[in-house]
Every structure is written in C-alpha cells, then in structure tokens.
Amino acid sequence: MHTKADGVVSGGYPLSSEQDSNRLRDERLRKLNALRQSGTNPYPYKFGRSHLAGALQEKYADLAPGTETEDVVSVCGRIMNERNTWMFVDLVDESGKIQLFCHKESLSEDDLKQLKLLDKGDFLGATGTIRRTKAGELSIKVKGYEILGKSLQPLPDSWQGLTDVEARYRHRYVDMLINPHVRDTLRKRALTIRAIRQYLDERGYLEIETPVLQVEAGGADARPFVTHHNALDLELFMRIATELHLKRLIVGGFERVYEIGRIFRNEGISTRHNPEFTMLEFYCAYGDYNEMMDFTEAMLRSVAQSVTGSASLNYAGNVIDFGKPWRRLRMIDAIKDVTGRDFDKATEVEAARQIAKELKVDISQAETRGAMVNEVFETCVEPTLIQPTFIIDYPVETSPLTKVHRSREGEVERFELFVAGRELANGYSELTDPEDQRQRLEEQARKKAAGNLEAMPLDLDFLLAMEYGMPPTMGIGIGIDRLVMLLTDSASIRDVIAFPTVKPLAKS
RNA sequence: GCGCCCGUAGCUCAGUGGUAGAGCACUCGGCUUUUAACCGAUUGGUCGUGCGUUCGACUCGCACCGGGCGCACCA
C-alpha cells in the first residue's frame, strides 16, 4: 500500500475518494456530466419494477428459443456485462441475471446514442417485451431505459474476478457484487440465525439482550477490550460472554432464555478468530448437561437441514454427517482411544506430567493435572474429531462455572461439541451452589492477581444473585460464525462475516 | 507476539542486475442476434514506502507499512 503525492491513502484497489482521480474514473465522470447536460438525472429517486430477474427466468422457463412475446415487463439492477457494443446487456439484481436486448428496431435514436454513456457497474431500469433468443437466452427487448445510478469506479475483471484477499476484505462491497458466493454465504448466515431463533422461540425460549458494556468482563477466559464512559469517568469493558447475565435472568425467574449477540475478545486474528464475533448462549432451568446434549444435537441437525437442505454436508473435503447419532465420549476415554494412555490411572500431577512428556505435548502453560489432561486432549484428540462428537466430563480446574460431576471425583459436568477438528459448542450443568461458585471465582481472582490476563474477575453481584437461589440449569454457548463456516464450507471466519476486522491503512 | 511467504497497470498475472510486459478492462474505429462476442488501433505504471549497495535496482541488503499462511492465545 502506498501513499499518493496528494496524501490520499491508496490500497491494492482504489479507494473512492474525491481526490483519488485516475483516468478510468475521469472517463466515467465525463459520461456523468454528459448525462446531466442532456437533462438526465444520473441519480434519480425511484423505479417501478414489475419483476425480479429470477422470477422472470422461472416464469418463462418453458419459452422456446426464438420466441417473441408481447409481455411487457420492467426490471432494474446493476449492469454487469455488455456485448456487441451494448446490443446485449447483462442486468443483475438480487435474484439473478436477465439479458437486455437493445436494438435499433425498438429504441429511439437518442436512447441508442445514450447507451454509450453507460458503464459496467451502473444501475439501470429497463422496460420492454419478453423474448428468448435463438441461442436460448431469455431477454427483454428494450423499448425504454433509465439510468438509476452512475458508477464511478471500474469493476474488477469480469472473468478473473477479485481474488486479492486484502482487497476483498477491505472493500467487501466489491467482493459481494463481483463474487456471488460471498452473498450466498451471508444469506446462509442469516438463514442460520433465523432457523436458530425459530427453533428456540418455538420451544418457549425468550430472547433477552444483556449489557455489552460491563464493569467486569466475566464468563470466559479471555482478554477484554477496554473503553471509557465520559460522564461517569468510568473504565468499562466490552463483554467477552453473555453467560453471567443470562444466568442472572434464570435467578430472576425466567426459565428459558437466550441471546444471539456480539462478543468482543481482545486476542489475535486468524482464520478462526475475529475480534468481534457472534455467540448464541441459552439456558434452561431444571435440565442437566445430558438433556442439553440431546437438545443441541436435535437443534443443530434441524438447522443444518433447513439451511443447506441436508443433514450431511461437505467441509474442507470431509463429508460431515449431522444426521447419525453423535458420539459422546469422556475426555479421558477419548485420550485413551487415541493415545493408549490412561489418565484415570494418573491421578497425581507428576503422573500426568509424565504422560504428557511421553506424548511430547507442550504443558509449559499447564500447572494442574486438569490443565495437563486438557492440553493432551487438545493436542492429540481434537484434530481427529471430524464427525460431530460430544466430549464430556472435564477436569474441574478448567471449568469455574460448571457443577461438579455427580459421581466422578475431580470432574465437572461439562461437554464440548467438536466438528471438523474444531470446537463448536461448550455446555454444562450450570454451577448453582453459591459457596462452591465463590471458591471457584476466588481461585480465578487469585490467578488474575498473579498476572493471568485471561482469568475471570470476581463478580460479586453474580455471586449475590446466586445466593438468592438458582434452580438446576443447563446452559450452552455456540459460536455462530464457526457454525456458519461449517454450513457454507468456508475456510476463514472472515468469509462468514460481512465486514471482518481489518487493520486500517496508515495515514501518511 | 514469533516464523515463513507475498506486495508490478483498474482486475488477473509474467518479469530475479542492463530501456517496465501480457490478457482482460478503458478510449477510438469497424462489425452487428451476442454468451469471456469478434476484428483493428491506441492509452494506461514514481514496480507498497524510505534508506543503502552498485556505473546501473522491479531485481540485492536493511528498516518501515499492508497482507497471507502457520504457531501461540482462544470460540
């Protein structure tokens, strides 16, 4: 990226700036002015459309090649291509494409002349009769047209498209308009969220919004973004989870609540991480983690079916089947299956350390036995979990908000869902014992005081809420972005976010 | 934060020490029922930025800016 002499910052693709002139833009400005001088408003107010392109393609699917009709229609959209010196124009709207046939037989001399002032990328409305060409292309024989929005920037090559990754994310609107699959992915994202809402709403869940700005950011192990409230002169944090507030709602008498909300975590950016992302969390009173696994499995199966039309899908070359019953496996048993090592027989830290060493797993960050078990699991087992698999019963040290296991010492009733080697969801029998919760959060606070930036702060109001009494509760968090990645076979989280975070270009 | 790689025309890309190239797009002309339309001619670049090395740098070195992938952190 370089800075131009006039101080305008330019990227791999031109920024639209009044100062950023180049000859391609100048040429379009020339046409814009010519339009204005001929009395045409290049940016009019409305257009009366009779049909979407897709609807016409469907309606006239059986019209034979070489057939003319008297059916008059009006369409509008963006000019994406032109052939035969504007005799044929590809007009694209949200539903698809329709070809315009601009011939001297049906257009006035002025209209024919003004075609030369159009460019690819302009918005156009056209009225004419439906016909299908001998070559089989459904077309509109244009009797009149109106420019609906002049484009000043050249579109990327219609054949090669826009592939430069940086340009695609920096100017996502160009990416969307030139690469149809980008729009398709975002459409499927919307369908996914709609399907989830519908599924939960139909089952008595209530969607409630909880604060984004918080005095303490808790509910997950993550570094928050810090911001500031001027009037209160108060340091505030952007939320890293919705968990602690949704559980307050359970205390407050709501029995089934959820939130689909933006979460902010001040961490690195990668193909699987965006600083802001969308998480679904939901909580249901009187259920445990077993019931939650049943519910989650049925819900995601239904969502996959309604978004993609099938319960089995392709991701990164793997066929992933949401239809078959999902495996449920104790974490320690999963490790045993893959490595042959048995942590049930390594109850002391030193024994666990020994196993990790033998497996060449880096445990330099792990202090407790539980953390070591978790490291071994993540390194050795996680990448092997391609088909949907619930890993259950986590070491207590790694899960400060989870109820202790009803029968297994040192474990908690927690599960995580893995698909395509990645974590997709995290749920548990919620910890509801205020004294146990206090001890666990105090332990977290000690870690935080000792310099662990991801440890949870001590949220005294949350503890107070729990002291008022909390029913048994099952809860879960599902990463919506990663779910959409799976459903759309997207390699990067940025592909499923309309405007992913990009570093701004330096001002000179 | 660390490692490897990348940045050349509006787009997609060649060019590895000796005058900056191609296809498409744009402009002009021709042609006119096309499907990446076709034919012809032109135009378009401080080769990401800066500083070095060199007789000479797109090419080599260093720094910086931006990006990709992997690791780390995590969802």
Residue A364, pLDDT above cutoff 70: yes
**pLDDT at residue number A18:** 33
Contact A43, A150 (CB under 8 A): yes
Contact A459, A444 (CB under 8 A): no
Distance, angstroms, CA A11 to C1' B29?
35
A436, A290: one domain: yes
A31, A75: one domain: yes
Give the residue from A152, A173, A204 where a domain finishes. Answer: A152
Residue A204, pLDDT above cutoff 70: yes
**Mean local confidence (pLDDT), A433-451:** 90
**pLDDT at residue number A7:** 28
**Mean local confidence (pLDDT), A373-396:** 92
A162 touches strand B (CB under 7 A): yes
User: Which CA-bearing residue is nearest the C1' of B24?
Assistant: A157
pLDDT digits (tens, 9 = 90+) for A146-164: 999 999 999 998 888 899 9
A146, A239: one domain: no
Contact A272, A396 (CB under 8 A): no
Q: Is residue A374 part of a domain?
A: no
Q: What is the DSSP letter of A114?
A: H
Say which CATH number the domain at A473 has. 3.30.930.10
Say which CATH number the domain at A31 has. 2.40.50.140
Q: Is residue A94 part of a domain?
A: yes
Alpha carbons A432 and A453: distance in angstroms, whole number:
26
Share of residues in chain A with pLDDT > 70 (%): 95
Alpha carbons A226 and A399: distance in angstroms, whole number:
25
**pLDDT at residue number A507:** 56
pLDDT digits (tens, 9 = 90+) for A4-55: 222 233 333 343 333 344 789 999 999 999 999 999 999 999 999 999 999 9
**Structural domain harbouring A91:** 23-152
Q: Which residues from 327-356 of A have any strand B atom under 7 Å from their CB? A: none
Intra-chain end-to-end CA distance of chain A, in Å: 11
A145, A192: one domain: no
Distance, angstroms, CA A417 to C1' B75?
12
Alpha carbons A113 and A176: distance in angstroms, whole number:
31
Q: What is the ipTM of this complex?
A: 0.91
Q: Is residue A193 part of a domain?
A: yes
pLDDT digits (tens, 9 = 90+) for A56-92: 999 999 999 999 999 999 999 999 999 999 999 999 9
Q: Which residues from 247-266 of A have any strand B atom under 7 Å from their CB? A: 265
Distance, angstroms, CA A1 to C1' B19?
27
A76, A204: one domain: no
**pLDDT at residue number A9:** 33
Contact A320, A420 (CB under 8 A): yes
User: Which CA-bearing residue is nearest the C1' of B31?
Assistant: A84
Q: Is residue A411 part of a domain?
A: yes
Contact A473, A287 (CB under 8 A): yes
A154 touches strand B (CB under 7 A): yes
Number of domains in chain A: 2
* HEC sequence for A206-222: EECCCCCEECCCCCCCC
CA A97 to chain centroid = 26
A281 touches strand B (CB under 7 A): no
Classify A426 as helix, strand or coil.
Answer: strand
CA distances from A339 to A66, A327, A359, A375, A415 (A): 68, 18, 8, 13, 20
A464 touches strand B (CB under 7 A): no
A87 touches strand B (CB under 7 A): yes
Q: Is residue A350 part of a domain?
A: no
Closest nucleotide to A500, Cα to C1': B67
Q: Which nucleotides of B are covered by protein (CB under 7 A)?
A: 1, 7-8, 10-13, 23-28, 30-38, 43-44, 46, 48-49, 65-75
Q: Is residue A102 part of a domain?
A: yes
Tokens of A133: 């060409």
A16 touches strand B (CB under 7 A): no
A302, A199: one domain: yes
Q: Is residue A14 part of a domain?
A: no
**pLDDT at residue number A494:** 94
DSSP string, A368-383: SHHHHHHHHIIIIIGG
